[in-house]
Amino acid sequence: MSAAILELRDVAVWFGGVHAVDGVSLRVPAGEVVGLIGPNGSGKTTLLDAISGQVRCTRGAVVLDGTDLVDYFPEDRAGLGLVRSFQDCRLFPELTVEEVLLVSEDARRRAGVLATTLHLPWARRAERAKRAAVAGVIDAFGLARFARHRVIELSTGTRRVVDLASIVLAEPRLLLLDEPTAGIAQREAEAFAPLLTRIHEVTGSTILLVEHDVPLVFSLCTQIVVMETGRVVSSGAPDDVRRDPLAVAAYLGASSEALARSGSLETQEPEPGPEPE
C-alpha cells in the first residue's frame, strides 16, 4: 500500500464560542513524518480528531489523496488506510500480548463463525495468515519475551509498544500518533525515537505526530508545525522552525526544560520496557 497525501484546507472546529481549531491549512506529503507541537490547549488533538472523523469540521476540508473526507465516518477513513492512536491506549487487560494482537487482526480479517467452527479450508488459511502477521510484529517490536504476559502485568511503556504494534497490523497509509510517549518512564521515552523510526520503515506510511517531547520531534520529523490557540503560527524544516521567533514565542521558548525533556536521542536499539511489574 502506498503512503497517502494529506491536505487540510482552512479546517476549523468550534465548540460553541470556543474555536479549538481555527483555519488550519496544511499539506503532509506522502511518506513524510510531520511533527505537530504546541502548548496544551493549542488544538493539536482536536485537529487529529477532525482528520480521523472523531469530530466534524465546522468548516474546511480534510482531503486524502484528492478525496474530501467530509462525509466519511471514522471506520470509512480507517478503510482508506487512515489509522490513529490515542493518548490513553486501552487494551484488554486480561488478555496476553499475543491475544491482543490477534484481536486486532480479527477486526481486520474477519472470518465467519460457521466457517471457523467447521474448519473450512479458507478459514484455516486466514487463521494461519493472522498468526503469521502477529508473529511478525512481535518479532519486529522486540515483544517476544512479553508475548505470553497479560497486558495488566506490563509497564506503561510496554503497553504503548503493544498498542503501536496493533496499529502496524492495520497497515496504515496515513498514521496519526497522539503523544506516544505520554505518561511513560524517562528511559522508555528515550527508546521511542528508534522505535518510531522503525514503524515508519516497516509501514512506509505518512505520519503526523503530536508530541510534547521536542527533541524527539525535531530528531524524527522532516517538517515541524507549531500551533497556538487553534492556529498554525510557524511551519517548515526543523532548523527553520527552531530559529523562527514566532515558534520560540509560542512554545519553544516557554520552558528551558522543554528542549531537553527526552535526554539523549542517540540511536539505540529500542527496549519495549522493563520486565512485567
pLDDT of residue 72: 95
Using alpha carbons, select from 259, 161, 165 the residue that is nearest to residue 217.
259
Instruction: Please state, in angstroms and rounded to a whole number, the distance separating the CA atoms of residues 243 and 245.
Output: 6
Mean pLDDT within 137-158: 87
In a domain, 171, yes or no: yes
266 lies in some domain: no
Q: Is residue 270 included in any domain, yes or no?
A: no
> Above 80 in pLDDT, residue 42?
yes
| Polymer length of the chain | 277
Tell whether the model's pLDDT for residue 7 goes beyond 50.
yes
The confidence score (pLDDT) of residue 265 equals 39
Q: Which pLDDT value is given to residue 276?
A: 46
Instruction: Name the more confident of 262 and 100.
Output: 100
Give the residue, 130 or 44, on which the prediction is more confident.
44
Domain of residue 176, residue span: 6-193+209-260
Q: For the chain, how far is it from start to end, CA to CA, in angstroms?
A: 38
**Burial of 181 by CB count in 10 Å (0-12 exposed, 13-18 middle, 19+ buried)?**
buried
Residue 182 has pLDDT above 90, yes or no: no
What confidence score (pLDDT) does residue 35 get? 95
In terms of pLDDT, which residue wins out, 71 or 110? 71
Q: Does 85 map to a domain?
A: yes
Cβ contacts of 271 within 8 Å, gap of 6 or more: 142, 187, 188, 191
**Number of domains present in the structure of the chain:** 1
The residue ranges of DSSP E strands in 106-173, in sequence order, are none
Q: Is the pLDDT of residue 189 over 80?
A: no
Q: What does the pLDDT look like over 18-31, one tens digit per residue? A: 999 999 999 999 99
Of the given ranges (142-156, 175-189, 202-216, 233-247), which has the lowest mean pLDDT?
175-189
What was the pLDDT predicted at 10?
Answer: 96
Given this model, what pLDDT does residue 117 score?
A: 54
Does the pLDDT of residue 109 top 70, yes or no?
A: no
Domain annotation covers residue 269:
no
Q: Is 203 among the domain residues?
A: no
Beta bridge partners of 228: 231
- Note the pLDDT tens digit of each residue in 220-269: 999 999 999 999 999 999 999 988 998 888 886 654 444 444 443 343 44
- In this predicted structure, what is the pLDDT of residue 205? 93
Helix (H, G, I), strand (E, B) or coil at 6: strand
C-alpha cell at 62: 480534510
Residue 24 lies in a domain: yes
Q: Is residue 200 part of a domain?
A: no
Q: Which residue has the higher pLDDT, 271 or 139?
A: 139
Contact 169, 83 (CB under 8 A): no
Under the banding of pLDDT at 50, 70 and 90, the label for residue 33 is: very high
Mean confidence (pLDDT) of the chain: 83
What CATH number is associated with residue 11? 3.40.50.300
